[in-house]
Amino acid sequence: VGADICGFVAETTEELCRRWMQLGAFYPFSRNHNADGYEHQDPAFFGPNSLLVNSSRHYLNIRYTLLPFLYTLFYKAHMFGETVARPVLHEFYEDTNSWIEDTQFLWGPSLLITPVLKQGADTVSAYIPNATWYDFETGAKRPWKGQRVDMYLPADKIGLHLRGGYIIPIQQPAVTTTASRNNPLGLIVALDEDNTAKGDFFWDDGETKDTIQNGNYILYTFSVSNNKLDIICTHSSYQEGTTLAFETIKILGLINTVTAVSVMEDNQPMRAHYNFTYDTSNQNLLIYNLMFNLGRNFTVQWDQTFLEAEKFTCYPDSDIATKQRCEERGCLWETAPLGSKAPECYFPKEDNSYLVQSTHYSSVGITAELQLNTVKARIKLPSDPIPTLHVEVKYHKDDMLQFKIYDPQNKRYEVPVPLNIPATPTSTYENRLYDVEIKENPFGIQIRRRSTGRVIWDSRLPGFAFNNQFIQISTRLPSEYIYGFGEVEHTAFKRDLNWHTWGMFTRDQPPGYKLNSYGFHPYYMALEDESHAHGVLLLNSNAMDVTFQPTPALTYRIIGGILDFYMFLGPSPEVATKQYHRVIGQPVMPPYWALGFQLCLYGYRNTSQVEEVYNDMLAAQIPYDVQYTDIDYMERQLDFTIDEEFRDLPQFVDKIRSEGMRYIIVLDPAISGNETKPYPAFERGQEKDVFIKWPNTNDICWAKVWPDLPNVTKDESLIDEAVNASRVHVAFPDFFRNSTAEWWTREIIDFYNNQMKFDGLWIDMNEPSSFVNGTTTNQCRNIELNYPPYFPELTKRTDGLHFRTMCMETEQILSDGSSVLHYDKATGKRGIVISRSTYPTAGRWVGHWLGDNYAKWDNLDKSIIGMMEFSLFGMSYTGADICGFFNNSEYQLCARWMQLGAFYPNARSHNTASTRRQDPASWNATFSEMSKNILNIRYTLLPYFYTQMHEIHAHGGTVIRPLLHEFFNEKPTWDIFKQFLWGPAFMITPVLEAYADTVEGYVPTARWFDYHTGRDIGVRGKFHTFAAPLYEINLHVRGGYILPCQEAAQNTFYSRKNYMKLIVAADDNQMAQGSLFWDDGETIDTYERDLYFFVQFNLDKTILTSTILKNSYINKNEMRLGYIHIWGKEKTPVSEVNLIYNGNKESVNFENPDLEILNIDLRQNNARKN
């Protein structure tokens, strides 16, 4: 029986017909039919990719999947008079609520169908009878039993739920039953609360009369108990049917992980079956690649185990977990086997700290109210729980969502950084890449990628807590491949999930394994499969730690604030990264000169030493753009002063700037308050009330950093003693205040105008760092804030959060959050700010160097990891101190580091006082020549590099690019961190080990050319060992790309006037593309103000074209195309090369030294880019 789907008389509407097609897919007699004279209403009429077509296709495929079940129901109706489309009351007669339910129905006893029957509705008040129920489409168990629920059914959904305790036969669908009947069969087993289920299956040829009476059929009964499925054939007299087989079995409701599957046929010995997967999020088992031909008996058995990987630690505290402490907390204890890192104290699996009181789904998101589960609140975690919580999910964009959990009764701290999110959600249901569901018992949020059905966030795990000073939430991960979380040193780009905990809290801590350092970036990227990746930001700046475990899963623990997550759906790693950057702000566009080589030393004694380095570099003709001075140039390390030993530094800076160089000064935001003479920086700061104070007082919270007392002779042999003996009291500026921004800007401008010119700022010690703990007395006033009930796994975990920084209770005043500009106002030009401490959104204004590293070989690959991580974090202008900051560098280490560092975005050599000079000119002539050659390569490639920096500034993404971002479908790239790319097309494979003269690198599947020779290396899609003599580095250009270049010079002021060239690397089809962004390199916001030139290049076989897309910057002294080098062309001699320019055709000079290389010289043709 069934009705005419979409109606017979009168015109239908899209919504009516869509909802009717969903319902009609489950009519026993399913037909779309209407009268003559009305508009067509078959699904295809509404458009090939319409919501109606997609929804209809989806549910008709489900119908066809379920036809063996439906056919069996008809068999039972025919034989025993049972109903097929069954009223709910027929199955649940003892429940009087079912007697009036006429908007839902069942197929047989086990498939509950809940359609949308009202116009404009996306929520249905549905009655769920007292049984175990599973979502048919996901296999997830529902918490509902004997209750009315508001079921969210958006435009393309109908409610389908399988009843626990039943087994239904299925078949792979097709466009007709003639085709589908030849497809593989399967079973869906829905377990009840006793882990049992039953079912049956009838099969004949589907069209011959009287098959039952004549016995020409196959009949099965199925039953499950004790982790065993029996498939019993009770009748088999249909020979043609025995060619079909049950090939898949899906079992719903298996609580513990399935570790083994065995199968048996017709009482033969049990044998292991290895083709199965267990979905931990939905707790179901899929067994595949079976071959259970009809007509025989089979048994399937599985083993369930509570894996140690499923243990979530219940005692992460700083003191050692013991059985007594664990059980006093209310947790479970099990001694771990030898060698295991799994927690011995862990949460019971059924832990459920909050109950879901209500959930509301809408087109723009979800809200839910949570109530502390006081009945089962047996586990006592640090601090006091918040009794009520509010959950808020916002579908901001089709590829981005936000989900928050917070206390609706009391305002808690939220990070006041500017994010670029829509004022109102812009996503549409049809185009969203994700579905979100609030789960109950235990509470959790589940996010599923719609295209694959894969759960990519699942916090329905034990241990969720929202206490006043302890917040904890865990989530399963879709794979073991996770990247990000910083700033903390570790040994690979991919994070190690073998029970490691990492702290995050800004601190003056030089890099070291597991030591939380200067920055704070609670962001990660996770890979799902070879086609999908996503990113997740937790917007919270309180001290926290994150535990990774091999489940795979991670657990956040935070000591305050709220849970405020943002997820970016990609689908590729680079696209997910761009989506994140659009929210936090695309990376800063550095000035062109900032891409040049840079030098610094902590320990210059006077201007003459700086001048000596400069002259040595010029004499060796080593390219070099930027000179720094560290705090040595200041009088007693006071900001905005110049020491007597550096009195002639301003004149030296003026001189080198006139020769094309640039100068960067360091500033430490810690202002002396102990001066005996006027110190305007402090005095004006007091007038503006910019310094951080104790709460509810007018008292500055004093600290000690670098500034020395006046008129005190310092004993440099003392270190810690010097802090007490010679350091002044300093005040920290409160940069949340608008008045502080105004004060800071004035001090910088005054220094620039009245004392010394500079081109950029290097902001150090801004965590903030202090040489005392909290304040000059080493005593803070609020013990609970500095020694919280839970202390995250941070460096110096037992020494308090105020260790080498300010007290946690000091007061900062929030402003309106408007952005702050410093250097631009001083110089009037685009400068660069290099910051040691960073947080999400910082990348839109500053770059970052990786801190005080060590002159050790193992610091080379860690610098690559650091750069790739900060690329994820939205900061591509990064780099490490080349040759190392601490310790004396040695010759070979520094040589290899110069080769690697030549491809850092921020390429700076810098080391500490009392170590040897390590600038390139300080070693010997051979070292100087090597450095000149490698830096000439860098300078040659700067137009390409600058264009890549523009691309990420305009659109987000990475410049220092992990190989997996370009070659995501090649799984070996997922583990690579000793190679990296500049953009999509230039691969760097450095030597990172002592005494090596070869290096192994992965060559992705593409055409690659040796940069030094221009020849195709003939290797792709595998690891390869490259020769690597001491003074050379392996560099490769990717086929299919065009790289704009320019002849190198002593610095960028001169190189920008040299001839440009193109490296055209053809792919296998003799095609290539590229682009060039060009401006004056120093004007502010040239892209935003359209003051730039942009051209695209395209190679198609033997024709190379350029297309100008923006022509708003013209400089005839810079934009001259002198050379074109074409690599990988077809192996035919070239007889003629012509230039067509401004409508004129000219012949040009060329060389064809190798049949695959063509060098074109345009210098005589006066070819300009514009």
Q: Do residues 365 and 425 make contact, with C-beta atoms less than 8 angstroms apart?
A: yes
**What are the pLDDT digits (tens) for 609-633?**
999 999 999 999 999 999 999 999 9
**CA torsion, ordered 563, 568, 569, 572, to nearest 10 deg:** -140
Q: How many CB atoms lie within 10 A of CB 193?
A: 11
**Same domain assignment for residues 18 and 149:** no
Confidence band of 1117 (pLDDT split at 50, 70, 90):
confident
Alpha-carbon distance 657 to 625, whole Å?
Answer: 10
**Same domain assignment for residues 212 and 134:** yes
**What are the pLDDT digits (tens) for 750-766?**
999 999 999 999 999 99
Average pLDDT over residues 1102-1126: 94
**Same domain assignment for residues 210 and 92:** yes
Domain boundary among 546, 572, 598: 572
For every residue of 701-719, DSSP letters joined together read --B--SPBPTT----TT-S
Give me the helices (H) in 755-888, please.
Answer: 783-786, 823-827, 858-872
Domain boundary among 533, 549, 572: 572
**Same domain assignment for residues 976 and 1094:** yes
**Same domain assignment for residues 138 and 150:** yes
Indicate whether 801 belongs to any domain: no
Indicate whether 931 belongs to any domain: no
Indicate whether 879 belongs to any domain: no
Alpha-carbon distance 14 to 321, whole Å?
Answer: 62
**Same domain assignment for residues 160 and 277:** yes
**Is residue 817 over pLDDT 60?**
no
Indicate whether 774 belongs to any domain: no
Q: Do residues 188 and 250 make contact, with C-beta atoms less than 8 angstroms apart?
A: yes
Phi-psi region of 420 (alpha: psi -120 to 50; beta: other; left: phi over 0): beta
Task: List the CATH number of the domain containing 432.
Answer: 2.60.40.1760
Domain boundary among 47, 65, 83: 65
Indicate whether 259 belongs to any domain: yes
Q: Do residues 910 and 602 make contact, with C-beta atoms less than 8 angstroms apart?
A: yes
- In angstroms, how far is CA 616 from the centroid of its own chain? 44
Burial (CB count <10 Å: 0-12, 13-18, 19+), residue 328: exposed
Task: Please give the pLDDT value at position 358.
Answer: 94
Task: Please give the pLDDT value at position 518.
Answer: 96
For every residue of 854-888, DSSP letters joined together read BSSTHHHHHHHHHHHHHHHTT--SEE-EET-SBS-
Average pLDDT over residues 196-200: 98
Q: Do residues 770 and 807 make contact, with C-beta atoms less than 8 angstroms apart?
A: no
The angle subtended at Cα 19 by Cα 17 and Cα 21, nearest 5°, is 65
Q: Do residues 1117 and 1057 make contact, with C-beta atoms less than 8 angstroms apart?
A: yes
Task: List the CATH number of the domain containing 1156.
Answer: 2.60.40.1180
Q: Do residues 882 and 895 make contact, with C-beta atoms less than 8 angstroms apart?
A: no
**Same domain assignment for residues 34 and 73:** no
In percent, the amount of the chain with pLDDT more than 70 equals: 98
**Same domain assignment for residues 126 and 55:** no
Q: Do residues 622 and 909 make contact, with C-beta atoms less than 8 angstroms apart?
A: no
Indicate whether 234 belongs to any domain: yes
Indicate whether 668 belongs to any domain: no
Give me the helices (H) in 1020-1106, please.
Answer: 1052-1055
The angle subtended at Cα 483 by Cα 479 and Cα 485, nearest 5°, is 125
Q: Do residues 311 and 344 make contact, with C-beta atoms less than 8 angstroms apart?
A: no
**Is residue 820 over pLDDT 50?**
no
Task: Please give the pLDDT value at position 891.
Answer: 98
Q: Which domain holds residue 58?
A: 1-65
**Same domain assignment for residues 42 and 89:** no
**What are the pLDDT digits (tens) for 255-310?**
999 999 999 999 899 999 999 999 999 999 999 999 999 999 999 999 999 999 99
- Tokens encoding 595: 């891409």
- Which residue do the tokens 């939905």 mark? 282
Which backbone phi and psi does 657 adopt, to 5 degrees? Answer: -65, -35
Confidence band of 1076 (pLDDT split at 50, 70, 90):
very high
**What are the pLDDT digits (tens) for 9-59?**
999 999 999 999 999 999 999 999 999 999 999 999 999 989 999 999 999
Burial (CB count <10 Å: 0-12, 13-18, 19+), residue 63: middle
**Same domain assignment for residues 24 and 102:** no
1170/1050: higher pLDDT: 1050
- Tokens encoding 908: 């700076």
Q: How many CB atoms lie within 10 A of CB 925?
A: 9
Alpha-carbon distance 19 to 837, whole Å?
Answer: 55
Task: Please give the pLDDT value at position 819.
Answer: 37
The angle subtended at Cα 1101 by Cα 1099 and Cα 1102, nearest 5°, is 85
**Same domain assignment for residues 268 and 357:** no
Number of folded domains in the chain? Answer: 4
**What are the pLDDT digits (tens) for 681-699?**
999 999 999 999 999 999 9
Alpha-carbon distance 817 to 519, whole Å?
Answer: 20
Residue 588 is given by DSSP the state: P
**Same domain assignment for residues 123 and 55:** no
Q: Do residues 227 and 239 make contact, with C-beta atoms less than 8 angstroms apart?
A: no
Give me the helices (H) in 620-760, please.
Answer: 649-658, 680-688, 720-726, 738-754
**Encoded amino acid at 225, one letter:** S
Q: Give exposure, 455-491, as e/b (b: 16+ Cβ within 10 Å).
A: bbbbbbbbbbbbbbbbbbbbbbbbbbbbbbbbbbbbe
In percent, the amount of the chain with pLDDT more than 90 equals: 94
Residue 489 is given by DSSP the state: B
